[in-house]
Amino acid sequence: MASIIVRRSKIRGSIRCPSSKSYTHRAIAIASIAGSKASIITNALLARDTLATLACCQAMGAEIRHKGTTVVVTGSHGLEPPENVINAENSGTTIRIMTAMSGLVRTGYVILTGDESLRKRPMQPILDALGQLGVKAFSAKENGTPPLVVKGGGIRGGTAIVDGSISSQFISGLLIAGVYADSEIQLKIKGNLVSRPYVGATLATMERFGVSIEHSTDMLEYHIKPSKYRSAQFDVPSDFSTAALVMAAGALVGERLLIKGLNFRLPQGDSQIVEIMSRMGCRIRADKVKGEVVVERTDELEGGSFNLGDTPDLLPVVSILALKAKSPVTITGVAHARVKETDRVANIASELVKFGARILEYNDGLKITSPKVLKNASLEAYNDHRLFMAFAIAAMMTEKSLVAGAESVDVSYPNFISDMKALGARFSNAPDRE
């Protein structure tokens, strides 16, 4: 496992964060069922997770080519059964959207799997919902986790009730594929809908491809009428999930950092980081018209309580900001972060104590009390890209620390290390571990 040595650093300059992983997934998936005229997706993120979606769509009959960050997709309303098992790699978004889309395959079966981490993640809610809509779908292990088997032949329609407390990706998959059901779908969400803004991102992407969905104001009920996507040109915005980490770096070890290329018009829940950092006393200014944010280092931050139920990817960000807070930071609403790439709640708790922080771990969150002085630490990211980036940023406040798991960044931000070094981060390769 690749590790880096991190020394005390100061960063400065300007940066354009990578494009949105969430919007890239959605745009490629929808374009692949948008008919025979090509769709053009610009500023796409081509990282491990989104390349998995691209490969899965190709396997089901879409013609896709890409050059640089431009992806050209020629889709088909009728998907073909793939020649082989579909591999979603480490991407929960990929497997959940593709599971729903597999019901649209004309004949035969689709088998979906992923890496070791993905094969442990829960999928039963989408399997149950597809069953209610006339699609035979089941876990090969009969425990609700991949590999999954979906029988093609079309989505009948009707009423489906889906658990929203584990992941909003189930809802996104059903919305995207449900447009091509034989009859109208009434989709009802039970439980607390987590990561709600990601459903908003799905609806916004669908609208760009010509389909609008009627839904309740609380986003707990959807009426999906049979329709057809039309080909479109879609420009992917920068990813606020990643930008949030860079903003945190600016607040913790930055002199003056400018983050460019942001889009405040398309819904991204993680844009809430600007408000959260303001509440914590960070010196941060957002120009929503220009799509820019300026962050300057703040010597001491404020504590407080933050419910991140809608924005679980901000858990690592707020956690490392807490290391500079003069009073405790309490994070709630993130029980579903335990079934992300890793158990992020437990893993953040186990690693931040190495810096000297005091941590109280709850089922749905953490209470973090910062140390007077951060200790040097040897940190493990558990092959989780967001944890690696967060720990590497926090480690820049120490004299010398080690962070393992550098290879994980190709999931969402392949250039993270080189971009941070260009801003002044003192990162170097560590000797290989046994």
CATH architecture of the region 3-18+238-429 = Alpha-beta prism (3.65)
- Give the model's pLDDT for residue 192: 87
CB contact set of 56 (below 8 Å; sequence gap of 6+): 86, 87, 88, 94, 98, 112
434, pLDDT greater than 60 = no
- CA 63 to chain centroid, in Å, comes to 25
What is the DSSP secondary structure assignment for residue 238, as one 8-state letter? B
CB 303 within 8 A of CB 328: yes
Reference 331, options 311, 351, 347; nearest CA is 311
For 60, 160, 328, the CA distances from 131, given in Å and listed in that order, are 21, 8, 46
Judge whether 3-18+238-429 and 21-226 match in fold.
yes
- Pair 266, 201: CB distance under 8 Å: yes
Whether residue 25 is predicted with pLDDT greater than 60 in this model: the reply is: yes
Place of tokens 């996507």: 229
> Cα torsion at 178, 183, 188, 194 (round to 10°)?
10
| Residue from 163, 270, 313, 384 carrying the catalytic annotation | 313
Our measurement of the distance from residue 115's CA atom to the centroid of its chain's CA atoms, rounded to an integer in Å, reads 17
Distance of CA 61 to the CA centre of its chain: 25
State the pLDDT at residue 302. Answer: 97
By DSSP bridging, strand 3-7 and strand 63-67 are unpaired
Residues 6+ apart with CB under 8 A from 406: 2, 3, 4, 388, 417
Q: Beta strands 283-287 and 221-224: pairing type? A: unpaired
Domain spans, the chain? 3-18+238-429, 21-226
Confidence of residue 258 (pLDDT cuts 50, 70, 90): very high
pLDDT-derived band at 265, boundaries 50, 70, 90: confident
Q: What is the mean pLDDT of residues 355-377?
A: 97
Is there a catalytic annotation at residue 313?
yes
Counting every residue written for the chain, the total comes to 434
Asked if pLDDT for residue 433 goes beyond 80, the answer is no
pLDDT per residue as tens digits for the range 104-126: 998 999 999 999 999 999 999 99
Among 3.40.50.150, 3.40.50.300, 3.65.10.10, 3.40.50.10300, name the CATH number for the domain at 21-226: 3.65.10.10
